[in-house]
Amino acid sequence: MGITRLNHAVLFVKEVERSVAFYTDVLGFSRIDMTPEGFSGAAFLQAPGSTNDHDLGLFEVGANAGPSGAGRTTVGLYHLAWEIDTLAEMKQLAASLADNGALAGSSDHGTTKSLYGKDPDGLEFEIAWIVPADRLDDAAREARKRIRRLDLDQEIARYGADTRGGIGISVPIG
């Protein structure tokens, strides 16, 4: 039996409503009404365009919780990566993240163009656009071996703002 995709992620957060506001206002997630009765301090969110039951679960652990030490003092998850369809969407998300003080960086991995952000608790995530299979060339594959600065305007000029990413890679052809 093989794993086919990530269904959802669950994050422990200090204040669930603060995190819901971030993920809905900054990244465009929608809140899904599915919290079990008598269970407070949890929220379930769906990513824009998703048909998934939920893509993100948030569980409140309280304002006194310390920051994650993952990668610094403890083992743990580094980040989640969410895929977007177009570079135009990436440009909009880059502006939204920057306007909200949540843009942590960006990079060009050759076959993947990425933004990095941090939520209100400092948990890192990646927003990725994947070069479609029919647009991959030897230069893009070779560039995968190094990380460069992302020039989003240059990538839009090269691939087009509305070219759907991931086709033939993470999205089936057809």
Rg (CA), the chain: 17
What band does 56 get if pLDDT is binned at 50, 70 and 90? very high
pLDDT at 170 over 90: no
pTM equals 0.90
Alpha carbon 98 to its chain's center: 15
Only one residue has tokens 């029919």, namely 134
Res 36: pLDDT:
75
Which token pair is 62?
A: 């309280």
Q: DSSP code of 141?
A: H
More confident residue, 75 or 35: 75
Q: What are phi and psi of 23, to 5 degrees?
A: -65, -30
Alpha carbon 146 to its chain's center: 21
Res 82: pLDDT:
93
pLDDT at 57 over 80: yes
Number of C-alpha atoms within 13 angstroms, CB side, residue 68? 18
Which token pair is 54?
A: 């939920």
Res 99: pLDDT:
97
pLDDT at 13 over 90: yes
pLDDT digits (tens, 9 = 90+) for 58-70: 999 998 998 888 8
Domains, the chain, with CATH or none: 9-60 (3.10.180.10), 80-159 (3.30.720.110)
